[in-house]
Amino acid sequence: MLVVKCLVVVWSHLWFTGFGLLGLRVGAMRCLIREGLKRKVLMVYLTAGDPYVSGDTVRAISECGVRIFEFGIPLARPKYDGPTIRASYKRVLENYTALEEIFSIIKSFHVDHKIIFTYLEYAKRIGLERIAELALESGAEGLLFPDLLIDYPEELGAYMRLCKEYDLEPIFFATSSFPHRLVSRLAELNPAFIYLGLMASTGILLPITISRTIRIMRGLIGGTPLLVGFAISEPHQVSNCIRAGADGVIVGSAIIKLLCGASDLDGLKEYVLSLIKALEV
């Protein structure tokens, strides 16, 4: 209830200070995602700095046809990540202590589009402007804080101003527990896309109600691109999400598990291609 009240207050502030009519740039990544209304999108999540994630890994995934990558910035106590991604964070933190090193790794990956995934709780300690600067330097086009609307709704205005100042695409993470009216209004803020988290954390099994959740979300946001993630791992799940109205899916934990257990890239490419094929329903 507190989150609902905070979001109502924040929305009113945003609208009357001009963010409701923000009109952020229509960048290349946004155009690509909006093409998903005709051609669906697979986005891959990888933890930046993970020893299992090399330039060859990223190149192999890109060669399969993946054009958008979401790179996670590791931290010690992530709230909404499952055991697989938490383990990847631990591996990174055992090898890197400087945030600049991790963003330098992201910069070294030559892919079409990059999104930075990190927690606002962490970004506030580092400094929002510093995170935005590092994101831009790494070649990222979007910045996603999964805890923004759940834990820090009062920071929504600051986030939108940050995106505008640094020419970054705003992306909203939402769940089925969000009030419908507020989801619709978030779509009016013209994000690159809305990321629907299907489960409370990554890497766990999906319930059968997921298709209904996606249909409801699609009805609420209209033509705003909708990508779904958190617990997507099988081609049939990808197909079901697309049939229900998603414009694309985001897969992370399943790919990280595969990287941890395989020494060659053939199995990885076969898996990624199976997910891409499943988009064609």
Q: Return the domain boundaries, the chain.
A: 26-278
Q: What is the mean pLDDT of residues 59-66?
A: 98
Q: What are 12-30's pLDDT values in tens digits?
A: 445 434 554 444 455 677 6
Higher pLDDT, 196 or 12: 196
Q: Residue 97: which pLDDT band, with cuts at 50, 70 and 90? A: confident
Check if the beta carbon of residue 167 is closer than 8 Å to that of residue 192: no
Round to whole Å and give the CA distance between 122 and 159: 14
Round to whole Å and give the CA distance between 108 and 4: 40
Angle between helices 156-166 and 128-137 (to 10 degrees): 40
Percent of the chain past pLDDT 90, that is, above it, reads 74
Which pLDDT score is estimated for 35? Answer: 61
pTM of the model: 0.88
Residue-wise over 164-181: b if at least 16 C-beta within 10 A, else e? Answer: eebebbbbbbbbbebeee
Supply the mean pLDDT for the chain. 87
Please name the CATH architecture into which domain 26-278 falls. Alpha-Beta Barrel (3.20)
Which pLDDT score is estimated for 204? Answer: 47
User: 38-47, 119-128, 139-148, 160-169 — which is least confidently predicted?
Assistant: 38-47
DSSP secondary structure, 115-142, as one string:
EEE--HHHHHHH-HHHHHHHHHHTT--E
Tokens standing for 53?
């994630």
Residues forming a β-bridge with 17: none
Round to whole Å and give the CA distance between 91 and 180: 39
Q: What are 234-268's pLDDT values in tens digits?
A: 999 999 999 999 999 999 999 999 999 876 899 99
> Which residues touch 90 (CB under 8 Å, ≥6 apart)?
74
Which pLDDT score is estimated for 207? Answer: 53
Check if the beta carbon of residue 182 is closer than 8 Å to that of residue 64: no
